[in-house]
Amino acid sequence: MKDRLFILLQYMIPQHLISRLVGFLAESRLPLIKDPLIKVFAKQFKVNMQEAEREQLADYISFNDFFTRALKADARQIDYHHDHLACPVDGAISQIGDIKDGKVFQAKGQDFDVTTLLGGNSELAAPFTDGQFTTIYLSPKDYHRIHMPCDGKLTSMVHVPGQLFSVNQATAEGVPGLFARNERVVAMFDTEFGPMAMVLVGAMIVASIETPWAGLVCPTGRQVTQWQYTEQQDIALRKGEEMGRFKLGSTVIMCLPKSTCQWNPELQPGVTTRMGQMLAKRD
């Protein structure tokens, strides 16, 4: 009953307005606002500041600066084996497996369409119709930068406007097509493993999504917006390099073609992940 009420409330509240207000507070540099927010958050979620580049809470100019904090260079070990994919984020596996007839498994009794997930472009989605996927949930305590699982060259980016439901387990089980309904940014890469889609899914009170090549991704309007990247622009990222970040956390979905890899058998739904660990090996 509690979960049903939580989901019903999300249908009723102004999701974007609330997220913008929270985003305004999270960007505030006023000590009266940002200092209590940071201190309460760090204590409540037991944030490990010893692994952060800046260990002192007072060194952060805003809550978002703290939330998207960088880690020390040796805080994560990247699996650089050329036949392995590295995990792109700290988080927990929500789902992992195969895409079947264009459907991505969300939770018991729920799935969503991969073409819809990628913005409605069937040509863009074609390589993944019977492909592979993993969905990784980032909780508030996690490190919120997203890194490349392998070397890749950016070919396109899509911003898909949408709703901002929470992305926790209760909502995943109760909101049909959740990840294909929420606002999201899709980054398409050419890699030695084949085409790869990295989908950064927004959620309730996620103030924004950023990428290194575009900065803050926030097109106006309600239409899907797509950018193409040419050979001349040459946006190439190496395995382990940052490819995006959430200002307040959410979910990453990674899509690959059929028979690309064998997922790490230890990574089952509910298992926590560390950025850089072995996610999969070449099939």
d(CA 139, CA 194): 29
Tell me the domain boundaries of the chain.
2-67, 84-282
**What is the token pair recorded at 144?**
């919120």
User: Is the pLDDT confidence value at 217 over 60?
Assistant: yes
Active-site annotation, residues: 90, 147, 250
pLDDT score recorded for residue 13: 82
Q: What percent of the chain has pLDDT over 70?
A: 97
Report the SS3 class of residue 200: strand
Q: pLDDT, tens digit, for every residue of 120-170?
A: 999 999 999 999 999 999 988 899 999 999 999 999 999 999 888 888 888
Question: Which CB contacts under 8 angstroms, 24+ apart, belong to 48-52?
Answer: 51/75
Q: In 3-state terms, the chain is what percent helix, strand and coil (to 5)? A: 25, 35, 45
Q: What is the pTM of this model?
A: 0.92
d(CA 70, CA 212): 14
